[in-house]
Amino acid sequence: MNEKQLAGEKAAEFVKNGMTVGLGTGSTVYYTIRRIGEMVKEGLTIKAVSTSSSTTRLAESLRIPLVSIDEAGKLDLTIDGADEVDPAFRGIKGGGGALFFEKIVAAASERSIWVVGSDKLVDRLGRFPLPVEVVPFGYSQVYRRLFDKGLNPKLRMSGENRYITDSGNYIIDLQLGAIGDPEALNDWLNGITGVVEHGLFLGMANAVVVARQDIVEVKER
């Protein structure tokens, strides 16, 4: 079993009867969702909230009952992947482009668990490009502010076209190398008009399920 599958399936053990569960997006949480699908088939009763069109398709194919974020009220638990996780459980997310809905769902959840292979654990965030979701109107103005700040912005493309998120926005990836002060960058990005959200997830994960080769560990904050 590969690390993604090991971590993903382990996290499904945290899902209990009667819960409202946020379902993240990506190739690791895919295994969680698949396992939850099996558990539903075996009689587990849950309501789930999806974080992307791809996760909605997957959950529907597995007959996992979905409700909208607005119908859900408070979520008990969200399980999601991450692109990088530091020792303080701060993370970069959004490699798959779903960061905006992922952050809304995580913020509405009592607990958030990330599922990762060991390659995602880092001492310092920033080697993975930091995604910034921006509205199309005036995006080049935002791009210029990011450029002027020395943040090495790159507009995300999908082949020849601009990448479009599920909410119809663009993504600008910041090639930072290392982020010295994630909280300061978080505050600065949040202050830019035209920025919808960004992939710094600070203080949001309560636990990280990490697989290293064939060993899986649950790290609690």
- Contact footprint for ligand 5RP (CB under 6 A): 24-28, 80-83, 93-99, 102
Given 3, 9, 84, 102, the catalytic residue: 102
Q: Is 81 annotated as a binding residue?
A: yes
Q: Is 117 annotated as a binding residue?
A: no
Distance, in Å, from the CA atom of 179 to the CA atom of 64, rounded to the nearest integer, reads 38
Instruction: Give SS3 for 52.
Output: coil
Which residue's CB is nearer to ligand 5RP, number 9 or number 102? 102
Catalytic residue at 102? Answer: yes
CA-based radius of gyration for the chain: 17
DSSP 14: G
Q: How far is the CB of 28 from ligand 5RP (least distance, A)?
A: 3
Q: How many CB atoms lie within 10 A of CB 11?
A: 29
Please identify, using beta-carbon distances, which residue of 154 and 193 lies nearer to ligand 5RP: 154
Q: Is 120 annotated as a binding residue?
A: yes
Q: Which is nearer to ligand 5RP, 37 or 95 (CB)?
A: 95
Would you please indicate which residues are annotated as catalytic (active-site) residues?
A: 102
| Known binding positions | 25-28, 80-83, 93-96, 120
